[in-house]
Amino acid sequence: MNEVSILITLATVHFIALMSPGPDFALVVQNATRFGRQTGIYIALGLSLGILTHAIFSVTGVSYIVHQHPTLFALLKGAGGSYLLYLGLGALFVTWKHWRVPSASIVADNAMMLANKRLAFCRGFMTNLLNPKALVFFISLMSSLVPVGMSTVGKSAALIIIWGLSFTWFAMLAWLLTRPAMQSGLRRISRYIDMLCGVVFTLLGATILYQLVMINFVMT
Protein backbone atom coordinates (compact mmCIF):
# COMPACT_ATOMS: atom_id res chain seq x y z
CA MET A 1 0.00 0.00 0.00
CA ASN A 2 1.51 3.33 -1.04
CA GLU A 3 1.48 6.41 1.18
CA VAL A 4 -1.46 8.06 -0.59
CA SER A 5 -3.62 5.00 0.05
CA ILE A 6 -2.46 4.92 3.66
CA LEU A 7 -3.44 8.57 4.15
CA ILE A 8 -6.86 8.06 2.56
CA THR A 9 -7.53 5.05 4.79
CA LEU A 10 -6.31 6.96 7.85
CA ALA A 11 -8.55 9.93 7.05
CA THR A 12 -11.58 7.66 6.54
CA VAL A 13 -11.12 5.74 9.80
CA HIS A 14 -10.43 8.89 11.80
CA PHE A 15 -13.45 10.72 10.39
CA ILE A 16 -15.74 7.81 11.25
CA ALA A 17 -14.33 7.84 14.79
CA LEU A 18 -14.92 11.61 15.06
CA MET A 19 -18.61 11.19 14.27
CA SER A 20 -19.05 8.65 17.07
CA PRO A 21 -20.71 10.23 20.14
CA GLY A 22 -18.32 10.75 23.04
CA PRO A 23 -17.05 13.37 25.49
CA ASP A 24 -15.65 15.59 22.71
CA PHE A 25 -18.96 15.63 20.85
CA ALA A 26 -20.91 16.26 24.06
CA LEU A 27 -18.61 19.12 25.06
CA VAL A 28 -19.18 20.96 21.78
CA VAL A 29 -22.94 20.42 21.86
CA GLN A 30 -23.27 21.57 25.47
CA ASN A 31 -21.16 24.70 25.26
CA ALA A 32 -21.92 25.87 21.74
CA THR A 33 -25.61 25.64 22.57
CA ARG A 34 -25.26 27.64 25.77
CA PHE A 35 -22.40 30.07 25.10
CA GLY A 36 -22.51 30.61 21.37
CA ARG A 37 -20.47 30.07 18.22
CA GLN A 38 -17.20 31.66 19.31
CA THR A 39 -17.01 29.44 22.38
CA GLY A 40 -17.80 26.40 20.24
CA ILE A 41 -15.05 27.25 17.76
CA TYR A 42 -12.43 27.68 20.49
CA ILE A 43 -13.48 24.42 22.08
CA ALA A 44 -13.15 22.82 18.64
CA LEU A 45 -9.63 24.24 18.37
CA GLY A 46 -8.72 22.89 21.80
CA LEU A 47 -10.14 19.47 21.02
CA SER A 48 -8.36 19.27 17.66
CA LEU A 49 -5.01 20.23 19.21
CA GLY A 50 -5.54 17.62 21.93
CA ILE A 51 -6.14 15.06 19.19
CA LEU A 52 -3.03 16.27 17.34
CA THR A 53 -1.00 15.89 20.55
CA HIS A 54 -2.17 12.28 20.92
CA ALA A 55 -1.30 11.63 17.27
CA ILE A 56 2.19 13.10 17.69
CA PHE A 57 2.75 11.07 20.85
CA SER A 58 1.66 7.93 19.01
CA VAL A 59 3.91 8.56 16.00
CA THR A 60 6.93 9.26 18.23
CA GLY A 61 6.25 6.28 20.52
CA VAL A 62 5.55 8.31 23.67
CA SER A 63 1.97 7.01 23.94
CA TYR A 64 3.16 3.42 23.57
CA ILE A 65 5.60 3.89 26.44
CA VAL A 66 2.88 5.39 28.64
CA HIS A 67 0.47 2.59 27.76
CA GLN A 68 3.05 -0.08 28.55
CA HIS A 69 3.99 1.52 31.88
CA PRO A 70 1.21 0.59 34.35
CA THR A 71 1.87 3.43 36.78
CA LEU A 72 1.94 6.16 34.12
CA PHE A 73 -1.16 4.81 32.40
CA ALA A 74 -2.98 4.54 35.72
CA LEU A 75 -2.12 8.16 36.51
CA LEU A 76 -3.46 9.24 33.11
CA LYS A 77 -6.65 7.25 33.63
CA GLY A 78 -7.08 8.70 37.10
CA ALA A 79 -6.57 12.26 35.87
CA GLY A 80 -8.87 11.73 32.88
CA GLY A 81 -11.62 10.08 34.88
CA SER A 82 -11.45 12.75 37.57
CA TYR A 83 -11.62 15.56 35.00
CA LEU A 84 -14.64 14.07 33.22
CA LEU A 85 -16.33 13.52 36.57
CA TYR A 86 -15.61 17.14 37.48
CA LEU A 87 -17.18 18.36 34.23
CA GLY A 88 -20.19 16.12 34.70
CA LEU A 89 -20.92 16.99 38.31
CA GLY A 90 -20.36 20.66 37.54
CA ALA A 91 -22.90 20.56 34.72
CA LEU A 92 -25.42 18.70 36.87
CA PHE A 93 -24.98 21.15 39.75
CA VAL A 94 -25.52 24.18 37.50
CA THR A 95 -28.58 22.50 35.95
CA TRP A 96 -30.07 21.75 39.37
CA LYS A 97 -29.25 25.21 40.73
CA HIS A 98 -30.91 27.03 37.82
CA TRP A 99 -33.67 24.53 36.97
CA ARG A 100 -36.49 27.02 37.53
CA VAL A 101 -34.61 29.98 36.06
CA PRO A 102 -35.29 30.96 32.42
CA SER A 103 -32.58 29.66 30.08
CA ALA A 104 -31.68 33.17 28.88
CA SER A 105 -30.94 34.20 32.46
CA ILE A 106 -28.68 31.20 32.98
CA VAL A 107 -26.70 32.10 29.87
CA ALA A 108 -26.28 35.67 31.10
CA ASP A 109 -25.26 34.55 34.60
CA ASN A 110 -22.73 32.03 33.35
CA ALA A 111 -21.43 33.89 30.28
CA MET A 112 -18.05 34.54 31.91
CA MET A 113 -17.49 30.81 32.47
CA LEU A 114 -16.58 30.06 28.89
CA ALA A 115 -16.87 33.41 27.15
CA ASN A 116 -13.14 33.71 27.72
CA LYS A 117 -11.41 32.29 24.64
CA ARG A 118 -8.56 30.80 26.66
CA LEU A 119 -10.92 28.99 29.04
CA ALA A 120 -12.91 27.55 26.16
CA PHE A 121 -9.73 26.41 24.40
CA CYS A 122 -8.27 24.87 27.57
CA ARG A 123 -11.47 22.98 28.34
CA GLY A 124 -11.47 21.46 24.87
CA PHE A 125 -7.76 20.65 24.97
CA MET A 126 -7.81 19.05 28.43
CA THR A 127 -10.99 17.06 27.76
CA ASN A 128 -9.34 15.27 24.86
CA LEU A 129 -5.78 15.12 26.18
CA LEU A 130 -6.82 13.49 29.47
CA ASN A 131 -9.09 10.94 27.80
CA PRO A 132 -7.28 7.58 28.19
CA LYS A 133 -9.47 6.06 25.47
CA ALA A 134 -8.08 8.62 23.01
CA LEU A 135 -4.54 7.52 23.85
CA VAL A 136 -5.36 3.85 23.26
CA PHE A 137 -7.27 4.68 20.06
CA PHE A 138 -4.36 6.56 18.51
CA ILE A 139 -1.87 3.89 19.49
CA SER A 140 -4.02 1.39 17.61
CA LEU A 141 -4.69 3.74 14.70
CA MET A 142 -1.10 4.78 14.14
CA SER A 143 0.48 1.40 14.74
CA SER A 144 -1.88 -0.33 12.32
CA LEU A 145 -2.06 2.29 9.56
CA VAL A 146 1.20 4.26 9.73
CA PRO A 147 4.18 2.00 9.06
CA VAL A 148 7.45 2.65 10.86
CA GLY A 149 9.21 3.13 7.53
CA MET A 150 6.81 5.81 6.32
CA SER A 151 8.58 8.95 5.13
CA THR A 152 8.73 12.09 7.25
CA VAL A 153 6.59 13.87 4.67
CA GLY A 154 4.01 11.09 4.86
CA LYS A 155 3.88 11.17 8.65
CA SER A 156 3.63 14.95 8.65
CA ALA A 157 0.77 14.74 6.14
CA ALA A 158 -0.96 12.19 8.39
CA LEU A 159 -0.74 14.57 11.36
CA ILE A 160 -2.05 17.49 9.32
CA ILE A 161 -4.96 15.39 8.04
CA ILE A 162 -5.86 14.25 11.55
CA TRP A 163 -5.78 17.80 12.93
CA GLY A 164 -7.58 19.30 9.91
CA LEU A 165 -10.42 16.76 9.97
CA SER A 166 -10.81 17.12 13.73
CA PHE A 167 -11.00 20.90 13.73
CA THR A 168 -13.26 21.01 10.68
CA TRP A 169 -15.71 18.50 12.13
CA PHE A 170 -16.03 20.09 15.56
CA ALA A 171 -16.05 23.65 14.19
CA MET A 172 -18.75 22.68 11.67
CA LEU A 173 -20.76 21.12 14.48
CA ALA A 174 -20.45 24.32 16.53
CA TRP A 175 -21.43 26.42 13.51
CA LEU A 176 -24.51 24.29 12.76
CA LEU A 177 -25.66 24.36 16.38
CA THR A 178 -25.39 28.15 16.55
CA ARG A 179 -27.30 29.04 13.40
CA PRO A 180 -30.05 31.50 14.42
CA ALA A 181 -32.92 29.19 13.50
CA MET A 182 -31.48 26.31 15.50
CA GLN A 183 -30.02 28.39 18.33
CA SER A 184 -33.38 29.78 19.42
CA GLY A 185 -34.83 26.29 19.70
CA LEU A 186 -31.81 24.82 21.46
CA ARG A 187 -31.70 27.66 23.97
CA ARG A 188 -35.19 26.67 25.14
CA ILE A 189 -34.01 23.15 25.95
CA SER A 190 -30.47 24.05 27.00
CA ARG A 191 -31.08 22.91 30.58
CA TYR A 192 -31.96 19.43 29.30
CA ILE A 193 -28.86 19.40 27.09
CA ASP A 194 -26.76 20.40 30.11
CA MET A 195 -28.37 17.65 32.17
CA LEU A 196 -27.79 15.01 29.48
CA CYS A 197 -24.16 16.07 28.94
CA GLY A 198 -23.64 16.15 32.70
CA VAL A 199 -24.91 12.58 32.97
CA VAL A 200 -22.67 11.48 30.07
CA PHE A 201 -19.54 13.08 31.57
CA THR A 202 -20.33 11.77 35.05
CA LEU A 203 -20.91 8.20 33.85
CA LEU A 204 -17.76 8.22 31.69
CA GLY A 205 -15.60 9.63 34.49
CA ALA A 206 -17.07 7.32 37.13
CA THR A 207 -16.64 4.29 34.85
CA ILE A 208 -12.97 5.08 34.19
CA LEU A 209 -12.27 5.57 37.91
CA TYR A 210 -14.22 2.42 38.82
CA GLN A 211 -12.27 0.35 36.31
CA LEU A 212 -9.02 1.80 37.63
CA VAL A 213 -9.93 0.93 41.24
CA MET A 214 -11.03 -2.59 40.30
CA ILE A 215 -7.84 -3.26 38.33
CA ASN A 216 -5.72 -2.14 41.26
CA PHE A 217 -7.88 -4.20 43.64
CA VAL A 218 -7.42 -7.36 41.55
CA MET A 219 -3.68 -6.76 41.23
CA THR A 220 -3.30 -6.45 45.01
> What is the spatial distance between Cα 192 and Cα 205, in angstroms, rounded to a whole number?
20
Q: With b meaning 16 or more CB within 10 Å and e meaning fewer, what string describes 88-97? A: beebbebbee
Q: Convert the pLDDT of each residue in 121-166 to its tens digit.
A: 999 999 999 888 888 888 888 877 887 788 889 899 999 999 999 9
- Helix 23-35 and helix 70-97: axis angle, to 10°? 30
Weakly modelled stretches of the chain, pLDDT under 70: 1, 98-115, 183-187, 190, 216-220
Global pTM reads 0.81
Contact 23, 129 (CB under 8 A): no
Specify the pLDDT at position 86.
86
